[in-house]
Amino acid sequence: MSLKSRTIFLAFALLKLSSVQAQQTPPFRENPAYKPALGGVIGTTGIGLTLYQPLGIQFGLEVGAGLMPYNMQIVGTYGDYLTHSTARARLHNAHLMFGWVPFHGTENGFRHLTIQLGAGYLFKAEGTLTTQLRDPQSYGDIELQPEEIGIMYTTINWKEGLAPYVGLGFSDMRIDEHFGFNIALGGYLLSQPSVSVKGTAMLEGNEINQPIIERNLQNYRYLPNLQLGIAYSFNAY
């Protein structure tokens, strides 16, 4: 065999060998919890949009924003009076989460488990309670309707700014080739809220309740987040 022939044979052999090695190399494993995707979420912190981006096969980023337009009616007896309150919470945030996929190599459902660390920027964080008596009150021949008796306004404010977040979730559980389902549980750490109480008309003087409400809200420093979402992957998987 001539040198030229041996060289050609060696080239073909190497080519063949590299081809076999390529076949023996485990196929590329994609990130099981993060795909480039855009998702809608709904949960205890409101509704929002999140952009997902994998960082290799075991990390990922989530960037998004959420709005919490939360209203609730509360009927209860406080003191001698049956009252009706409307609670409004407005906790709007933009957030950036860094996710770790610890079991990315497994074949079971835990490959979707993510541990999330990040922060939200609260650009609005306040709650209001508007309290009125539920029933009219009579003073001799004078009957006053609840709205005529007055309103007690309770305003709760958290400082705007960064709120650290920690949580875990299951991400990108495939629904079909484009859509994935995710669930997350975590919490934001908020600043100590400040409370102010103001009464109008015949409810003036209810400022004395301010320290009581402050005490009740002292643990409102954790904003729990149970969140469900569906994300649309830009590529089919």
Partner 1 sequence: MKIHQYLIVLMTAALLPILQGCEHPLKDVEVEVNTDPFAYGVLLRITDEQENPVSDVTVTIGGEDAEYIYNLNGYKQFDVEKGILILGIHPLHRPTETKPVTFTVQVSGSGYVTETVPFTITAAQYTSTYAIQIHRSETGL
Residues contacting 111, CB < 8 A, separation 6+: 32, 33, 101, 103, 104, 105
* Residues in contact with partner 1 by the rule CB under 8 A: 44, 74, 76, 78-81, 83, 85, 87, 108-110, 112-113, 127, 129, 131, 133, 137-142, 144, 148-150, 152, 154, 156, 168-170, 183, 185, 187, 199, 201-206, 208-209, 212-213, 215-217, 219-220, 222, 224, 226
Q: Report in angstroms how near the CB of residue 216 gets to partner 1 at its nearest.
A: 4
Shorter beta-carbon distance to partner 1: residue 148 or 160:
148
135 three-state secondary structure: coil
Reference 152, options 194, 193, 91, 213; nearest CA is 213
Please calculate the CA angle 234-176-109 and round it to the nearest 5 degrees: 105
User: Which run of H or E residues covers position 22?
Assistant: helix 3-24
Q: Report in angstroms how near the CB of residue 219 gets to partner 1 at its nearest.
A: 6
Q: Report in angstroms how near the CB of residue 234 gets to partner 1 at its nearest.
A: 26
Instruction: Identify whether the C-beta of residue 170 lies closer than 8 Å to the C-beta of residue 149.
Output: no
Q: Report in angstroms how near the CB of residue 163 gets to partner 1 at its nearest.
A: 16
Shorter beta-carbon distance to partner 1: residue 66 or 187:
187
